[in-house]
Structure 1
């Protein structure tokens, strides 16, 4: 059964006649067609899947090889939506509740059918990866691991955080990545105590720890990887913190299994960090889902996520961290497949503390 067929089968249970999909990642997931945000939509009815866009996409849609999907070319996107729904006798239309208020206002004004919002309908389908998606995620994580090895060879005292991010960006794109899935984090020295520091013009110096957090799309799917390394002689406390974080990462991964709840998984690593005396210095969730987006469901799992339960072939990150102001921080992040046979770690870069010598 195709993804569109799975969605069509659900429409009666949702008490709607059709669903209009406007999220570009969700359109790609269902059809394999890349439509930029705001350039149209996918309408799924009980027996039809129709992409509506304008003549900029006419040639691409004509060449698009998908027997399930037909195309309608119109610059009046939502006037066309109303006409199609009227012709197909759609009286109740679902829409994604992530649309802008401006678009909601258009739908409310134009549509003769009743409109009903839905939250994370396609995103919940995306949680469970098929074999092709897992293969693409493995490609993305393999390239990220190779990129990490490359950038380590470029590190020396005096190079700036921004130069590191730029050199990594160039290498990743030269070797198969299409683009970054978020701005690369390069945080050195005291900056590494900021979990979401951006790459700055600060030079990386002897004695710094450097946290490198990055993700790049390969064939539509993104990895998300963090490694922390040292430059020269680093503070002994940071070496101890590294061991604690790395042990927490591995212990959480060891407990990844079908059916485990997010709060229970988080507690495995968080309790270890708290016992070591750094509970106040770990101030974010243990991880999140990844795939077509760098943050997919589960959007986060942490102490208050008893409602999150892991399923077979979900892919999540495991990323504990400790951040000590004025000293520095450590975060280590792997991408992990949930399987009935236990965790499958996609990230292949080493997790032992690496020291770049002068």
Structure 2
């Protein structure tokens, strides 16, 4: 029988030289337990043989319905003084914690805890990097919904429609069809706005001849896809047509290199080289992609020219998103979500990547 996520963490505690581990990040708590606790509403304490959620009375009914063989819960009116009492009662002398906690929380723990405190950098995030088959299936469902959402939005794109209206239509459609919410503000960037990699949807109206970039991510059953497609509204600048082909070729070149053991910098170079050889090296000003899963940015946080230390592992899921951005005419980005396997890449996002012209 495979070890649960909590058991995998418990097995590591002796090697980390800690008696217990404190988890306060809501995504990490959900990953380990399946229970959704809003950020700041308590914590999870994992010892070598126990896992205890401490929260307040607002979660009593949810905890009553929470069916777990390995997690117990306790209701508290003072989370961290109760943490100290728990640690003393269980003779926890050394307590590990997430390095990402706020200074305010660290200051409180440092003041009240009897146990010694030891920070760990991205311990849980490194566990989350490798997806199991259930997680990959959820990411595939999310990606499928993104593909369907893109096809829906194509029917709504025409001159005179605002970027914001398109973003709102997509948001409504995605939520009506199973998404719980966006994992980042949807990017709908047309014309010159498409030259800004992180433009947000504005009141600008689409015009004939605009390039239009759509970059969106939505949670489905806790997991988020992240997809970008760029389309033409009518007849676009010939240079943008050429740029589109270069970006699309770069995207495919990177995907073709995705395999277990591939290095992050080599992966990046496969696509960046094509963009540089075409004379647009300075117009590609971000990394080639990042990990996704329970959050839209998971490990690896980014991979680019300097990512020689990143080596892909089986069942890691990452984005591939080259782009070229020319301030005078607009920009192009195309992004897919890819599973790393021993057999090579498995692309989750099935929306077409050939240039689509709408409004003709």
Measured after TM superposition, the shift of residue 245 of structure 1 is: 0.3
Q: Paired residue for 2:8, among 6, 13, 19?
A: 6
Measured after TM superposition, the shift of residue 75 of structure 1 is: 1.4
Alignment of 1:123-162 (within 5 A): 123-162=125-164
Q: Paired residue for 1:211, among 206, 210, 213?
A: 213
- For residues 216 and 356 of structure 1, what CA distance do their matches in structure 2 show? 24
Aligned twin of 2:48: 46
Aligned twin of 1:88: 90
User: 1:104-151: per-residue Cα shift (whole Å, max 9, x none)?
Assistant: 011001100000111100000000000000000000000000000000
**Runs of at least 5 residues in structure 1 that lack an aligned partner in the other structure:** none
Alignment of 1:148-187 (within 5 A): 148-187=150-189
Count of equivalent residues: 358
Q: Could you say what secondary structure the match of 1:93 adopts?
A: strand
Alignment of 1:244-255 (within 5 A): 244-255=246-257
Measured after TM superposition, the shift of residue 193 of structure 1 is: 0.4
Measured after TM superposition, the shift of residue 345 of structure 1 is: 0.2
Measured after TM superposition, the shift of residue 62 of structure 1 is: 1.5
- For residues 109 and 357 of structure 1, what CA distance do their matches in structure 2 show? 63
Measured after TM superposition, the shift of residue 59 of structure 1 is: 1.1
**Runs of at least 5 residues in structure 2 that lack an aligned partner in the other structure:** none
Alignment of 1:246-325 (within 5 A): 246-325=248-327
- For residues 89 and 48 of structure 1, what CA distance do their matches in structure 2 show? 13
Q: Could you say what secondary structure the match of 1:71 adopts?
A: strand
- For residues 60 and 139 of structure 2, what CA distance do their matches in structure 1 show? 30
User: 1:31-84: per-residue Cα shift (whole Å, max 9, x none)?
Assistant: 000000000000000110000000000111121001100001001000110011
Establish whether residue 191 from structure 1 lines up as the match of residue 193 from structure 2.
yes
Aligned twin of 1:115: 117
Aligned twin of 1:22: 24
User: 1:15-44: per-residue Cα shift (whole Å, max 9, x none)?
Assistant: 100000001110000000000000000000
* TM-score normalized by the length of structure 2: 0.99
Poorly superposed stretches of 4+, deviation over 2 Å: none
**Partners of 2:320 and 2:336 within 8 A in 1:** yes
